[in-house]
Structure 1
Amino acid sequence: MTFTTRPELRGTFGAVATTHWLASAAGMSLLEKGHTAFDAAVAAGFVLQIVEPHLVGPGGEVPIIVTPAGADEPVVISGQGPSPAKATIARFRDLGLDIIPGTGLLPACVPGAFGAWLTLLRDHGTAELEDVLSAAIHYAEHGHPIVPRISNTIASMKDLFTTHWPGSAEIYLPGGAVPQAGKLFRNPQIATLYRTILDHAKGAGSREARIQAAYDFWYRGPVAEAIGDYCARQDVWDVSGRHHRGLLTAQDMADYRPRVEKAVSVAYGDFEVFKCGAWSQGPVLLQMLQILKGTDIADLDPLGADFVHLVVETVKLAMADRDSWYGDSPDVPLDTLLSAAYADARRTLIGETASLDIRPGAPDGRNCNMPPLRTVGTIAQPGLGGGEPTVARTPDLPNDRQGEPSLSREGAQRGDTVYVSSVDRWGNMVSATPSGGWFQSSPVIPGLGFSLTTRGQMFWLEEGLNSTLRPCVRPRTTLTPSMVYRDGRPYMAFGTPGGDQQDQWQLVMFLRHVHAGMNLQEAIDAPSFHTDHLPSSFWPREISRGGVTLEGRFPPQVQRELAAKGHVLTVGDPWSEGRLSAVAREMDGDVQLVKAAANPRGMQGYAVAR
């Protein structure tokens, strides 16, 4: 019998699954009040910005896949903000930089999350803005029990906050002390900001007009002005070891509009899997599925060495294409990359042993152009480590990393992202991966109470790539929610935090659910793994050739077999790979049955259903 930490939740009314129990509860409260899965997702997303500020903040971004009940296919709301108009390779070269820092103000892009959430609420929801903000305001104003990971992260940043980022010290070191885990933590500046926005918007005529007034306050009013002024005036210390001002302006904010786009998809048996476009890494999951269609993956032991080997080698090929071809550019040959013929050719490269090469393909006969391949340890780190997010080195932190999928190197503590999914009694579904604006990677802007996204570190400063830095384009993000149809009907919304690992963990979960018959919770709980045989999307952009990390629950025999195939193994903690969450729906006769599950890793993620 497959081990599971908790049941797969089932009901008929609705479900919400997120990476924090308070966000799941806030989302469910909107469903209980008669609102939709869209409203629930927005409420949960705003709460996550308060209760997991080391993983997401109001100054971050969010890609959202939206499926209205009965829709033939979902749509994507891209809450990934673009680079500033002043962001050019020449500008960074003039600063003596050949890689974009992972901290400070230089990597800041337009914070797109607020606009994307409001677009979802306005165009698909039924609730008022006050309804979806009320729980976030409550926790910011009255406090939420701070989890150990946040307390430890603040401790790791204390010297930097007090020395270089005083606005952050004001919020995260109340009275000059690190907040104690389990005690209530508040961010009154965000509570005041959201109340001010609601007061500003309440005089507008219709519901839609009130939401638009709030949007304008953020992107064309006081919030944009405060962000632009701070970036222009403040010299901020970053991971380069120097002080820099930001490039983001109030005009960049005013020019931003969340894009509503068509999702991309491939069929896999009775399923169709939908992802965001190649401005995200989402299509790699689709490429992986196309490759695996022609293999014996369905017949392999989902916990065995052959399964791990086949998945890892497939991931390597798709990720090489990601780094060679993906970006916010019309030049991405996506149709070819997702085609069956291309997958057939790529599949022939998978052998019985681990490849240590980076092997992008040549879609349509094009010559690939790979970014620099820097081996782990190449880049000196003057005080801050890389990752998602980039944070301070703290070798003596307690071992509370269970559930945080990004790994530490040389004592660097790292976090990642959050996730939201929801389904309601009418069959509406949402899958969203909010991130960015981490308090570890950029200083709090005084008066606003939040930090800016550092997603710009995903651009390359080398010419010739679709992900090369250009003004006013989206960085090729790692954020990648998933939506699945089965037999032509909306079936499942799922995703996870984890940077470059997001689509790897989602692939493993999906395969185990589809082929091994595991329910959602079983597929989430089963031992997982990932490879770092790819250029990291985060500063310092390094690669670990052949590297595979397994959870310690894999038997020694599996570990030996993988090592014999040439994989360079790291055995992690037993519960350390991923923070997946999922909701699903299916018909039981004439009645809709909803399902939900969430990750036990980290002891924060919870699903709610009835």
Structure 2
Amino acid sequence: MAPTKHEQRGPAGAASSTHYLGTSTAMSVLARGGNAFDAAVAAGFVLQVVEPHLCGPGGEVPAVFVTASDAVPRVLCGQGVAPAAATVERVRDGFGLPIVPGTGLLAATVPGAWDGWLTLLRDHGTWSLADALAPALAYAAGGFPLVPRIPPTIATVADHFRAHWPSSARTWLPDGSVPRSVHRLPALAATWQRLLDAATGPSREARIDAARDAWYRGFVAEEIAAFCAVPVRDETGRDHPGLLVADDLARWSATYEDALTVDVGGGWTVAKPGGWSQGPVLPQMLQLLRDDVRYADGVATADTVHRAAEAAKLAFADREAWYGDSAPVPLDALVSRAYADGRRALIGAEASRELRPGAPDGRAPRLGEYARRPGMRRSDGTGGPGVGEPTVSRSGAVRGDTVHVDVVDAAGNMVSATPSGGWLQSSPTIPALGFCLGTRAQMFWLEEGLPSSLVPGRRPRTTLSPSLGLHDGEPRIAFGTPGGDQQDQWQLCFWLAHTVGGLDLQAAIDAPAWHSTAFPGSFAPRGWEPAGLVVESRLGAATLEDLRRRGHEVVDAGEWALGRMCAVGRGGGPLLRAAADTRSGVGAAAAL
């Protein structure tokens, strides 16, 4: 049994992240007068260093936020797009591949994290880029502690690095051995310093824009393009080049958009990224579960877990048929109460083994041919259910994951961000830059005409899904978790425990969790497990047996195994609140 943690509370600011150094960085910024955006950006850069197996400078970041002067939620999209040369014909027919590989260079999209964080800092922060980047640069140059999962991750791919990715071997295997306690990233530190040197101009905003240009229209773009031109080994067992060129980076920038906001009952509204992400599945699930959730002593009942799992199957089937950036998404219909009312009758007494997308506005759904085929999601033996961190095979295959950070300040600024991509095991380190590219393009399908088909200049349908919750129109909580396809399911567990079970933020995070695996996965090899349900044993033996009787193929992941939730909150008094997951042993929450 994990020790009991308490919700952190304070009047001046609160932060939560998946790594204690990310949280302490955010708190130090708040303590020195920075606002929530300054704190989130500084923490985001630190997480690129201290959780390199979960995110990196070559990755991406979406965020949902409100400001002290505007309580209407907005989304920052720091998700890069597919290269201009990335077409279905080129990848499927030219390279002879049924899906985009999960490792290597072929799956690289435009790195979005740098522009995303800098855009947020420029428009809503108060600090200079040099100050916001200083903690991360110091850890990269001077050394950072390795959390327990990093050495095993490096060890698993060490032979692959030595044989096929020598630049990664030089970066992550100093003296030819796996680092165990402290590690340095001098090449990354030098890149960041060079970007700071280029950040000149008459104002704070102009200097930030100059640093953006140095990345996307300067030396970083040039090095990325040159590196992508040379084929490297990926999980197919063959060598493939990347498709990114300098012009792909020069044409892209992070953007803002209105958040998807959905009234889910009880005075609550959920704010999420739109249909280019998996974010809408959370409000879809909540609409299906309206007024039909029960908790006993802070634990979901068997009927609640069953109905939540069945709701997840329906929502994720809709994700497969309707979500993406490559075709129009009938989003208003998908998240409407009327659509959920029509779909709710599909939730029966037994676990469904089918993939059943709906027909919003009467439109017939279409599933890709590859997605129709059930198959073991972990057929390559790369591991089972757990806290959501990635697993890797000795061939370098990776099941991706991410990090998360939430910050709220006394003025009313609140931000939830889920950075990801550019994992140390995703693709080879670019020697001149000290980081690797992400592989988010593996989430595209190599079939024409689908909402998530590979199309040049379009965003992959990401699993990244930060969240805000508003009560009676007032921003109250920011929350999120790593976990790929599980992100919104673990958020559902948290949300129900908090808003229905009546638990505070920390107790809601600690409540027993579950998730379905009965829909196509977003990461290669993209299989699915009909009736698959992963649970924490703390739901109770009677509940697990009840779920099995209903036809669920239950996997008991252990007492404390699912999720790496983070949350901050305000309202109900002068104190700000923060909570972080007990399960990982690394995440932390703090308030001041």
Do residues 335 (structure 1) and 332 (structure 2) align?
Answer: yes
Do residues 277 (structure 1) and 274 (structure 2) align?
Answer: yes
Do residues 44 (structure 1) and 43 (structure 2) align?
Answer: yes
Look up the SS of the partner of 2:222 in the other structure.
Answer: helix
Match in the other structure for 1:33: 32
Look up the SS of the partner of 1:332 in the other structure.
Answer: coil
Do residues 255 (structure 1) and 237 (structure 2) align?
Answer: no
Do residues 561 (structure 1) and 543 (structure 2) align?
Answer: no
Please tell me the residue identity of whatever aligns with 1:14: G
Look up the SS of the partner of 2:316 in the other structure.
Answer: helix
**Separation in structure 2 between the aligned mates of residue 299 and residue 439 of structure 1, nearest angstrom:** 41
**Separation in structure 1 between the aligned mates of residue 68 and residue 196 of structure 2, nearest angstrom:** 30
Deviations 1:547-573 (A, max 9, x none): 001113232111110000000011112
Please tell me the residue identity of whatever aligns with 1:249: V
Deviations 1:252-308 (A, max 9, x none): 000011110000111122111100000000001111111111x42156774321111
Please tell me the residue identity of whatever aligns with 1:593: L
Please tell me the residue identity of whatever aligns with 1:258: A
**Separation in structure 2 between the aligned mates of residue 98 and residue 154 of structure 1, nearest angstrom:** 28
**Separation in structure 2 between the aligned mates of residue 299 and residue 553 of structure 1, nearest angstrom:** 13
- The alpha-carbon deviation at position 405 of structure 1 amounts to 5.4
Look up the SS of the partner of 2:14 in the other structure.
Answer: strand
Task: State the percentage of identical aligned residues.
Answer: 52
Pair 1:409–1:566, CA change in 2 (3 A): farther
Match in the other structure for 1:19: 18
Contact 1:405/1:578 (<8 A) preserved = no
**Separation in structure 2 between the aligned mates of residue 450 and residue 367 of structure 1, nearest angstrom:** 43
Match in the other structure for 1:229: 226
Look up the SS of the partner of 2:149 in the other structure.
Answer: helix
**Separation in structure 2 between the aligned mates of residue 571 and residue 67 of structure 1, nearest angstrom:** 38
Look up the SS of the partner of 2:346 in the other structure.
Answer: coil
Look up the SS of the partner of 2:571 in the other structure.
Answer: strand
Contact 2:234/2:240 (<8 A) preserved = yes
Match in the other structure for 1:242: 238
Deviations 1:331-389 (A, max 9, x none): 111111111111110111111110111100011111111122333349985xxx7xxxx
Pair 1:58–1:299, CA change in 2 (3 A): closer
Please tell me the residue identity of whatever aligns with 1:235: P
Contact 2:102/2:398 (<8 A) preserved = no
Contact 1:369/1:464 (<8 A) preserved = no
Pair 1:265–1:55, CA change in 2 (3 A): same
Match in the other structure for 1:192: 190
Match in the other structure for 2:442: 457
Count how many residue pairs are aligned between Structure 1 and Structure 2.
586
Contact 2:517/2:528 (<8 A) preserved = yes
Do residues 179 (structure 1) and 200 (structure 2) align?
Answer: no
State TM-score, norm by structure 1: 0.93
- Runs of 4+ aligned structure 1 residues displaced above 4 Å come to 298-301, 377-381, 405-415
Match in the other structure for 1:214: 211
Please tell me the residue identity of whatever aligns with 1:157: V
Please tell me the residue identity of whatever aligns with 1:366: R
**Separation in structure 2 between the aligned mates of residue 409 and residue 366 of structure 1, nearest angstrom:** 41
Deviations 1:26-63 (A, max 9, x none): 11111111010000000000000000000000000010
Which residue of 459, 472, 476 corresponds with 1:491?
Answer: 476
Do residues 419 (structure 1) and 404 (structure 2) align?
Answer: yes
Match in the other structure for 1:510: 495
Match in the other structure for 1:103: 103
Do residues 365 (structure 1) and 365 (structure 2) align?
Answer: no
**Separation in structure 1 between the aligned mates of residue 231 and residue 170 of structure 2, nearest angstrom:** 18
Report matched runs for 1:400-479 at 5 Å.
403-404=387-388, 414=399, 416-479=401-464
Look up the SS of the partner of 1:348 in the other structure.
Answer: helix
Look up the SS of the partner of 1:545 in the other structure.
Answer: coil
Contact 1:336/1:364 (<8 A) preserved = yes
Match in the other structure for 2:130: 130
Look up the SS of the partner of 2:338 in the other structure.
Answer: helix
Match in the other structure for 2:373: 374
Please tell me the residue identity of whatever aligns with 2:29: L
Look up the SS of the partner of 2:441 in the other structure.
Answer: helix
Which residue of 509, 521, 527 corresponds with 1:536?
Answer: 521
Look up the SS of the partner of 1:354 in the other structure.
Answer: coil
**Separation in structure 2 between the aligned mates of residue 457 and residue 352 of structure 1, nearest angstrom:** 35
Deviations 1:175-218 (A, max 9, x none): 111001xx2111111111111111111x3110000000000000
Which residue of 201, 205, 209 corresponds with 2:202?
Answer: 205
- The alpha-carbon deviation at position 105 of structure 1 amounts to 0.3
Look up the SS of the partner of 1:586 in the other structure.
Answer: coil
Do residues 54 (structure 1) and 50 (structure 2) align?
Answer: no
Please tell me the residue identity of whatever aligns with 1:72: A
Please tell me the residue identity of whatever aligns with 1:583: V
**Separation in structure 1 between the aligned mates of residue 388 and residue 81 of structure 2, nearest angstrom:** 27
**Separation in structure 1 between the aligned mates of residue 377 and residue 485 of structure 2, nearest angstrom:** 19
Deviations 1:402-431 (A, max 9, x none): 633567899987551100100011010000
Contact 1:153/1:413 (<8 A) preserved = no
Contact 1:421/1:432 (<8 A) preserved = yes
Please tell me the residue identity of whatever aligns with 2:166: P
Match in the other structure for 1:76: 75
Report matched runs for 1:112-191 at 5 Å.
112-180=112-180, 183-191=181-189
Please tell me the residue identity of whatever aligns with 1:20: H
Deviations 1:209-258 (A, max 9, x none): 000000000000000000011101x2100011100000011100000111
Please tell me the residue identity of whatever aligns with 2:219: P
Contact 1:218/1:224 (<8 A) preserved = yes
**Separation in structure 2 between the aligned mates of residue 605 and residue 24 of structure 1, nearest angstrom:** 8
**Separation in structure 2 between the aligned mates of residue 409 and residue 450 of structure 1, nearest angstrom:** 21
**Separation in structure 1 between the aligned mates of residue 205 and residue 393 of structure 2, nearest angstrom:** 47
**Separation in structure 1 between the aligned mates of residue 509 and residue 122 of structure 2, nearest angstrom:** 33
Look up the SS of the partner of 2:262 in the other structure.
Answer: strand
**Separation in structure 2 between the aligned mates of residue 407 and residue 543 of structure 1, nearest angstrom:** 17
Cα RMSD, aligned residues only: 2.0
Match in the other structure for 1:290: 287
Please tell me the residue identity of whatever aligns with 1:194: W
Contact 1:60/1:437 (<8 A) preserved = yes
Match in the other structure for 2:9: 10
**Separation in structure 1 between the aligned mates of residue 182 and residue 189 of structure 2, nearest angstrom:** 15
Please tell me the residue identity of whatever aligns with 1:420: V
Larger deviation, residues 153-162 vs 403-412: 403-412
Look up the SS of the partner of 1:72 in the other structure.
Answer: strand
Please tell me the residue identity of whatever aligns with 2:250: A
Contact 1:3/1:526 (<8 A) preserved = no
Contact 1:417/1:497 (<8 A) preserved = yes
**Separation in structure 2 between the aligned mates of residue 10 and residue 379 of structure 1, nearest angstrom:** 40
Do residues 596 (structure 1) and 578 (structure 2) align?
Answer: yes
Which residue of 312, 321, 324 corresponds with 2:321?
Answer: 324
Pair 1:502–1:300, CA change in 2 (3 A): same
Larger deviation, residues 141-150 vs 115-124: 141-150
